[in-house]
Amino acid sequence: MGPWQIPRVSRIPTSASGCEPADDPDEHQRQLPEKHRGRVHRGDGTDRLNVPLISLWVQLLAIPYRFLYPSALFFVCVGVFSARNSMFDVSEALVLGLFGFLLPRPRFHPAPILLGFVLGPRMQENFRNALAISHGSLGIVVQRPLTLAFLLMSLVLLSVQLYTRSRVRRVRPSTVPLTTGDP
């Protein structure tokens, strides 16, 4: 069990009065409503949260985005403010949200940026450790064949992406012939 999990306290089966322990271990099953008898409880909450609320999640998809986005923004701002009671954090979340909203316009995908945001601090820490081990020399990055291979692969992939993006010709919608039906 991880440090983030709360240990689950098992309930001792009691008699019908609820005071003394039950002589019959199946008596607690008889105390449950009919629909819950014989159910295996996994303890992760899925039997209480997901299954009964499926219809709610389906109805949530019917909400227009013009109502869904502002409400999500409101709850994000409340959550960010409640973390440290700082309006700077709220404004930072709004700026990053605006940045994320504008990213798809020039055809940037947010998933690699999110990966960089999550993995960036760990990479920076490991890079600092490597520089500390090598006494500040950048040669440690290209001395090992594995790191050199990864560095070259990333440079090749980046240059291929830049080359293909510069060569792609965009077709105007007015020049595309419209097809109607079978020929």
| Below-50 pLDDT ranges, the chain | 9-15, 22, 171
Residue 67 lies in a domain: yes
Residue 56 lies in a domain: yes
Residue 113 lies in a domain: no
The residue segments making up the domain with residue 67 are 48-102
Residue 34 lies in a domain: no
**Spatial distance between the Cα atoms of 77 and 80, rounded to a whole number of angstroms:** 5
Residue 29 lies in a domain: no
pTM: 0.41
**Spatial distance between the Cα atoms of 23 and 66, rounded to a whole number of angstroms:** 59
Tell me how many domains the chain contains: 1
Contact 29, 38 (CB under 8 A): yes
